[in-house]
C-alpha cells in the first residue's frame, strides 16, 4: 500500500512539472506562435535558384540525355528499378518549375529561358530514346511501356500534386532537396522515352499515348506550381491570370481524353470481373481448368475477350467455345468476340502402394544405375 501511494505521488509531481513547463512556454510566446511557421524564401533567392536550374548548360543536357538512355533501356527491359534511377538524375523538373514561377512573377526573361531549355530537353530525350531503340532493335512491348500509353485523370491528379510539391519545395529552404523526389513521383522522362520508342517502332498509338501523358504532366505541374507560388505571395494574380487561364484551358482539353480513358479502364475492370465469375462458376467448359489470363477490350461493336487457359490436350472443342461465347452474349447483353488460347498440360503420376512395388523400383534402379533417366 505504501509503494502504491509513493507511485501515485511521483506521477502527480511529474504531471504537475509538465503542466508548468507548457504554461511557461505559452506565457513566453504570449499566444504568438509565428516562430513555428517557416517563412518562404526571399524572392531574390528563388530567382537565383530557378535561373540556375534553367541554364542550358552542357551538364544539363548531358544528365538529361543519360537519363533518357537509362529510362529507355529500363523500359525496353521492363525494369522498374532502372526507370526510377533515370528519374532521379533527370534535371528537367527545375526548368518546368521555373516556367510556373516566371508566369506569376511576370518575368519574361526567366519564362523564355526556362521554356527554351525545357523544349530543347524534350527534343533531346525523344531523340536519345529513338536512337537507343533502333540500336537495340527490341520490338516487344511490356507492362512498363503499356502503363504509359493510357493516361487517365489519375495521372492528372499526380501531376497537379507534384507541381504543388515542387513549387513548395523551391519556396522552402528546409525541403528544397525534396525536388528529386517530386521528379520521381511525376515521372517526366519515361513518357518522353516511350514517345521515342513509339517513333522507332512506327507505332502511333504508343507515341500518341505517351505524348498525352507528358503533356498532362507538364501542364499540371506548371498550373498547380503557379497557384502555390501565388499562395506563398510570390508575384500577383494580375500578372498570372493570362498564364493561369491558358493552363486551365489546356487541362480542360486534356481532361477529355483522360476522362474517357479512365472510363474505359473502369468498364474493362468491371467486365473483366463479370467474365471471370461467369466462366469459373457458371460454365462446365472452364470450371475445372486453370484460367491463366483474361483480357477484355472494348470494341466499337461490343467486346473482345481473350482467354489463356491451361487444360489437357483436346479437352476444349470449338463447339464448346461457341457455346461459351453465346452464353456470355446472353449474360452481358452485347456482342462478344471470344478468343481462347489453350496451353496443353500433361500430368504424370507414379504412386507406390506396396512393399513389392518398392522392391521392384529398387531393383530396377540398381540394374540401370549406370544409364540414368
Q: Is the pLDDT of residue 139 over 70?
A: yes
Q: Are 197 and 132 in contact (CB under 8 A)?
A: no
Note the pLDDT of residue 352: 57
287 pLDDT tier (thresholds 50, 70, 90): low
Domains and CATH numbers, the chain: 43-263 (1.20.1080), 283-345 (3.30.300.20)
Q: What is the mean pLDDT of residues 12-35?
A: 54
pLDDT at 363: 47
Say whether pLDDT at 213 is over 90.
Answer: yes
Tell me the C-alpha distance between 254 and 240, whole Å. 21
pLDDT band at 221 (very low <50, low <70, confident <90, very high): very high
Over residues 258-276, the mean pLDDT reads 81
Beta bridge partners of 290: 310
In the chain, alpha helices (H): 2-29, 43-53, 58-77, 80-89, 92-105, 108-136, 143-146, 153-171, 179-186, 189-201, 204-231, 237-282, 318-332, 355-367
- Of the listed ranges 4-18, 64-78, 96-110, 338-352, the least confidently predicted one is 4-18
Is the pLDDT confidence value at 34 over 70?
no
Amino acid 252: pLDDT: 93
Which pLDDT score, from 0 to 100, does residue 28 have? 54
pTM value is 0.72
Amino acid at each position: 500500500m505504501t509503494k502504491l501511494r509513493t507511485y501515485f505521488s511521483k506521477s502527480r509531481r511529474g504531471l504537475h512539472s509538465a503542466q508548468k513547463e507548457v504554461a511557461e512556454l505559452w506565457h513566453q510566446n504570449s499566444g504568438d506562435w509565428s516562430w513555428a511557421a517557416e517563412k518562404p524564401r526571399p524572392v531574390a533567392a528563388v530567382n537565383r535558384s530557378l535561373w540556375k536550374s534553367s541554364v542550358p548548360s552542357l551538364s544539363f543536357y548531358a544528365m538529361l540525355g543519360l537519363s533518357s538512355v537509362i529510362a529507355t533501356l529500363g523500359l525496353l527491359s521492363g525494369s522498374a528499378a532502372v526507370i526510377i534511377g533515370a528519374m532521379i538524375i533527370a534535371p528537367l523538373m527545375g526548368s518546368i518549375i521555373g516556367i510556373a514561377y516566371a508566369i506569376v512573377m511576370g518575368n519574361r526573361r526567366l519564362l523564355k529561358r526556362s521554356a527554351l531549355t525545357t523544349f530543347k530537353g524534350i527534343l533531346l530525350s525523344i531523340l536519345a530514346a529513338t536512337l537507343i531503340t533502333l540500336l537495340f532493335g527490341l520490338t516487344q512491348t511490356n507492362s512498363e511501356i503499356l502503363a504509359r500509353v493510357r493516361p487517365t485523370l489519375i495521372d492528372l491528379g499526380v501531376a497537379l500534386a507534384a507541381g504543388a510539391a515542387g513549387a513548395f519545395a523551391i519556396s522552402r529552404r528546409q525541403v528544397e532537396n525534396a525536388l528529386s523526389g517530386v521528379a520521381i513521383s511525376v515521372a517526366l522522362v519515361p513518357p518522353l522515352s516511350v514517345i521515342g520508342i513509339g517513333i522507332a517502332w512506327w507505332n502511333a498509338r504508343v507515341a500518341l499515348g505517351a505524348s498525352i501523358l507528358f503533356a498532362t504532366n507538364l501542364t499540371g505541374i506548371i498550373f498547380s506550381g503557379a497557384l502555390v507560388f501565388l499562395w506563398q505571395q510570390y508575384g500577383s494574380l494580375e500578372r498570372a491570370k493570362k498564364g493561369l487561364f491558358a493552363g486551365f484551358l489546356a487541362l480542360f482539353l486534356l481532361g477529355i481524353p483522360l476522362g474517357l480513358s479512365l472510363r474505359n479502364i473502369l468498364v474493362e475492370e468491371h467486365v473483366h470481373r463479370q467474365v471471370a465469375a461467369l466462366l469459373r462458376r457458371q460454365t462446365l467448359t472452364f470450371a475445372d481448368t486453370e484460367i491463366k489470363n483474361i483480357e477484355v477490350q472494348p470494341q466499337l461493336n461490343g467486346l473482345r475477350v481473350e482467354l489463356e487457359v491451361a487444360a489437357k490436350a483436346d479437352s476444349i472443342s470449338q463447339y464448346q467455345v461457341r457455346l461459351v461465347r453465346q452464353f456470355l452474349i446472353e449474360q452481358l447483353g452485347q456482342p462478344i468476340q471470344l478468343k481462347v488460347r489453350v496451353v496443353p498440360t500433361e500430368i504424370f503420376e507414379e504412386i507406390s502402394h506396396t512393399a513389392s512395388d518398392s522392391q521392384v523400383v529398387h531393383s530396377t534402379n540398381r540394374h540401370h544405375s549406370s544409364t540414368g533417366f
